[in-house]
């Protein structure tokens, strides 16, 4: 029981790091980015190439994955995404699905279609035994990293100048613009940072979630669930939603394996029907 809780938390934390960039994109620009998973995949493959082929240590591989994906995200944001922000949702969906298809096929072409594994160092394998519960060292690391990141994000958002600008822009873009906040720049930075986080999540999660070219399609729905269930107005909403989702998914697969992910989808639809704004959203944004 506690093991499930533990594994579920690790899984949920991972989902949060993967999805929080998406939640900001959606909340800030009202932009539906279905291609978010592609950035996570980019981070994962980047680490695979660095660690397995070039012999870079795993510790260094993770931050590098973050940097590379953030750069990639920033580049794409400036060149492609800016043109699509003001478009109707249908265009955004088409555009980002197109990107997903391209990334899937391109990865398949470059890296092959087989599942990739990252060689994690010896010291991270095996598990601790605490009060009779087996805790995988790697999962513990994930919880630690993601926990620190979440705290850092929360601090940045609530304490720094950039954070308050971002929150202002999310709350009301037009007024924020009127107050002299460069919403475009704030958004570009946030997009790059969110992509970087996704890349880091992809690198960390390759061990747990698996990594193959269909990654963006397979996990797209999970990211979207986190965002829609958690709401886009704060960071705690998606966080709680991803922990719930992680624990729920692991528990569901453990207790009722025949139903599989069915439970998750059912819960999502139920939540969306009852609270279209998200489970943890403030009562009304606009």
Instruction: Point out which residues bind other proteins (CB under 8 A).
Output: 26, 32, 80, 83-84, 87, 89-95, 97-106, 108-109, 217, 220-221, 224-225, 228, 258-262, 265-266, 268-269, 272-273, 276
Q: What are phi and psi of 131, to 5 degrees?
A: 50, 40
Q: Which is nearer to other proteins, 63 or 112 (CB)?
A: 112
Q: Which is nearer to other proteins, 9 or 96 (CB)?
A: 96
- We find the least distance from the C-beta atom of residue 260 to other proteins, in angstroms, to be 5
> Burial of 149 by CB count in 10 Å (0-12 exposed, 13-18 middle, 19+ buried)?
middle
Tokens 């999962």 belong to residue:
139
Q: Which is nearer to other proteins, 87 or 159 (CB)?
A: 87
Please state, in angstroms and rounded to a whole number, the distance separating the CA atoms of residues 100 and 218.
Answer: 11
Q: Which is nearer to other proteins, 47 or 232 (CB)?
A: 232
- We find the least distance from the C-beta atom of residue 26 to other proteins, in angstroms, to be 7
- We find the least distance from the C-beta atom of residue 71 to other proteins, in angstroms, to be 20
- We find the least distance from the C-beta atom of residue 137 to other proteins, in angstroms, to be 32
HEC sequence for 259-278: CCCHHHHHHHHHHHHHCCCC
DSSP H helices in 130-211: 137-159, 161-171, 173-178, 183-209
Q: Which is nearer to other proteins, 130 or 266 (CB)?
A: 266
- Answer yes or no: are the C-beta atoms of 230 and 237 closer than 8 Å: yes
Strand-pairing partners, residue 127, are: 136
- We find the least distance from the C-beta atom of residue 86 to other proteins, in angstroms, to be 12
- We find the least distance from the C-beta atom of residue 69 to other proteins, in angstroms, to be 19
Q: Report the chain's terminal Cα–Cα distance, integer Å.
A: 42
Q: Which is nearer to other proteins, 123 or 283 (CB)?
A: 283
Please state, in angstroms and rounded to a whole number, the distance separating the CA atoms of residues 274 and 271.
Answer: 5
Q: Which is nearer to other proteins, 126 or 260 (CB)?
A: 260
- We find the least distance from the C-beta atom of residue 242 to other proteins, in angstroms, to be 16
Instruction: Please give the distance of CA 257 from its chain centroid, rounded to a whole number.
Output: 25
- Answer yes or no: are the C-beta atoms of 278 and 237 closer than 8 Å: yes
């Amino acid at each position: 029981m506690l093991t499930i809780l533990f594994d579920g938390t690790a899984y949920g934390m991972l989902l949060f790091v993967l999805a929080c960039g998406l939640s900001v994109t959606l909340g800030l620009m009202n932009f539906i980015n279905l291609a978010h998973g592609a950035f996570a995949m980019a981070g994962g493959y980047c680490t695979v190439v660095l660690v397995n082929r070039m012999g870079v240590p795993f510790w260094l591989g993770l931050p590098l994955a973050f940097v590379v994906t953030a750069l990639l995200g920033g580049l794409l944001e400036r060149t492609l995404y800016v043109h699509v922000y003001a478009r109707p949702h249908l265009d955004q969906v088409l555009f980002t699905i197109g990107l997903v298809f391209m990334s899937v096929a391109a990865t398949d072409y470059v890296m092959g279609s087989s599942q990739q594994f990252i060689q994690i160092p010896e010291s991270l394998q095996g598990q601790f035994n605490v009060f009779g519960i087996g805790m995988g060292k790697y999962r513990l690391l994930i919880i630690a990293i993601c926990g620190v990141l979440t705290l850092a994000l929360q601090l940045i958002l609530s304490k720094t100048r950039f954070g308050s600008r971002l929150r202002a822009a999310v709350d009301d873009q037009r007024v924020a613009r009127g107050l002299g906040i460069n919403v475009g720049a704030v958004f570009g930075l946030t997009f790059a940072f969110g992509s970087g986080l996704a890349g880091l999540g992809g690198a960390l999660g390759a061990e747990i979630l698996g990594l193959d070219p269909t990654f963006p399609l397979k996990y797209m729905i999970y990211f979207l669930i986190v965002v829609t269930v958690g709401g886009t107005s704060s960071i705690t909403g998606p966080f709680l939603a991803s922990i719930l989702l992680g624990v729920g998914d692991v528990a569901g697969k453990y207790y009722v394996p025949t139903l599989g992910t069915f439970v998750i989808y059912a819960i999502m639809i139920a939540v969306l029907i009852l609270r279209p704004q998200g489970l943890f959203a403030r009562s009304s944004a606009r």
